[in-house]
Amino acid sequence: MRGEAEPQMALFSYVSLEERVPRDHPLRKMRVLVDAVLATMDAEFAAVYAKRGRPSIPPEFLLRALLIQILYTVRSERQLVEHLDFNLLYRWFVGLSIDDQVWDHSTFSHNRKRLFAEGMAREFFERVKAIAEWQNLLSDEHFSVDGTLIDAWAAHKSFLPKDERDPPQKGGGRNREVNFKGKRRCNDTHVSTTDPDARLYRKSSNTAARLCHMGHVLMENRNGLVVDVETTEANGRAERQAAEKMLKRSAPRAKSLGADKGYDTADFVAACRERKVAPHVAAKSSGSAIDARTTRHATYRISIRIRKRIEEIFGWLKSVGGLRNSRHLGRPKLAGQLLLGCAAYTLVRIGSLNGWWDARHT
């Protein structure tokens, strides 16, 4: 017998959010880790808020909400706030009760410099990394490095000559007609009016030039965890300069560094050897700075194989973490976004390595 659909709303509910979330849900153990990290940042939060005045939204709520945005690939903060209003799982993770009113999406913009800039985001990332270090999941000897392009939130039409900020409009509406076919455009003479920090760049001759920034990751080779992150201008020297900076900052006892052919230059190889780090760099077919002193060892072949795992990090950040394009204008905001994305990736990897959940379904 077919049941009747009776659209009757209950006046009261006696089921708590805690009971709504399944006991084996991955976010349960994820929240334990996140709460432990946020508890250690109490002094940092107190330093960026005034002692007196109207109470604000707890920074812990805002940071947990951004983690939800990254983990569940929510495309915008406006949509994130909408989901928080009706999604009970998201409410539970953030810390909202079922009756709490959700804040406006502009709250994230107001707190961009205070909570989500590179400084505070790096504090959060370093404390997440400390959990992995405490569980002995990190190697302090063997690393890999690579960089990737992150598209800027700017169109090619915004890339105009520096002395032509207000070109004549052609066509109606805001999507004006621009014909730059056959015209030479370069970063020395042109700048994006939307995102001045973006640069027109391409990593190889087989790809199109894009307005973009560059993100860099230093990975330890034992479990493929991120140990350092850097955001720079997109240019031909940025990858090697960022690698040296991250090595000095986060891998003082490194013995080897794996990298692709883009790092096979005489100055970078010499800089690695000066730091007593074996440059396990993929050798170019001609004019390579790597010789048999490096390539004859079995550890070189191991590093060349393992270094490719760094692409898994970039793949996750771009497909799940929403970092294929920058959501914000300017490199400082992107730096905070990239650090939070790498912190979320590290949390997922810690859970996978401990067998808390299946990474394929997380």
Digit-coded pLDDT (tens) for 259-269? 999 899 999 99
Distances (CA, A) of 91 to 18, 101, 219, 320: 10, 10, 33, 20
Sheet strands (E) in the chain? 142-151, 159-161, 190-192, 199-201, 210-220, 226-232, 256-259, 278-281
Task: Tell me the one-letter amino acid at 113.
Answer: K
Same domain, 50 and 144: no
| Residue 281 forms part of a structural domain | yes
Tokens of 243: 């690698």
Same domain, 227 and 286: yes
Same domain, 149 and 237: yes
Structural domain boundaries enclosing 250 = 139-153+211-327
Model confidence at 292, pLDDT cuts 50, 70, 90, reads confident
What are 176-229's pLDDT values in tens digits?
677 777 678 787 788 888 889 899 988 877 888 889 999 999 999 999 999 999
Residue 6 predicted with pLDDT over 80? no
Residue 3 predicted with pLDDT over 80? no
User: Looking at residue 208, what is its pLDDT?
Assistant: 82
Average pLDDT over residues 290-314: 90
140 vs 227: CA distance, rounded Å: 10
Residue 319 predicted with pLDDT over 70? yes
361 vs 25: CA distance, rounded Å: 11
User: Looking at residue 349, what is its pLDDT?
Assistant: 94
Q: What domain count does the chain have?
A: 2
User: Looking at residue 145, what is its pLDDT?
Assistant: 95
| Residue 12 forms part of a structural domain | no
Residue 172 predicted with pLDDT over 60? no
User: Looking at residue 13, what is its pLDDT?
Assistant: 66
Could you tell me what percent of the chain has a pLDDT over 70?
Answer: 90
| Residue 183 forms part of a structural domain | no
Model confidence at 166, pLDDT cuts 50, 70, 90, reads low
Kind and range of the H or E run holding 122: helix 118-134
User: Looking at residue 65, what is its pLDDT?
Assistant: 93
Same domain, 104 and 146: no
Same domain, 83 and 147: no
Same domain, 98 and 219: no
What are 236-283's pLDDT values in tens digits?
899 999 999 999 999 999 999 999 998 999 999 999 999 999 999 998
| Residue 173 forms part of a structural domain | no
The mean predicted confidence, pLDDT, of the chain is: 87
Average pLDDT over residues 323-348: 92
Average pLDDT over residues 28-54: 87
Same domain, 31 and 101: yes
Tokens of 333: 């905001």
User: Looking at residue 175, what is its pLDDT?
Assistant: 66
User: Looking at residue 124, what is its pLDDT?
Assistant: 93
Task: Tell me the one-letter amino acid at 77.
Answer: E
| Residue 26 forms part of a structural domain | yes
| Residue 200 forms part of a structural domain | no
pTM for the full predicted model: 0.90
User: Looking at residue 244, what is its pLDDT?
Assistant: 94
Same domain, 143 and 55: no
User: Looking at residue 216, what is its pLDDT?
Assistant: 95
Same domain, 99 and 227: no
Residue 154 predicted with pLDDT over 60? yes
| Residue 66 forms part of a structural domain | yes
Model confidence at 123, pLDDT cuts 50, 70, 90, reads very high
Q: Closest Cα partner for 57 from 125, 104, 122? A: 104
User: Looking at residue 8, what is its pLDDT?
Assistant: 62
CATH number of the domain within which 323 lies: 3.30.420
User: Looking at residue 136, what is its pLDDT?
Assistant: 92
| Residue 11 forms part of a structural domain | no
Residue 9 predicted with pLDDT over 80? no
Same domain, 105 and 221: no
User: Looking at residue 254, what is its pLDDT?
Assistant: 92
Same domain, 41 and 146: no
Tokens of 12: 């009261």
Same domain, 269 and 145: yes
* Largest Cα–Cα separation, the chain: 81
User: Looking at residue 169, what is its pLDDT?
Assistant: 57
Q: What is the DSSP letter of 255?
A: -
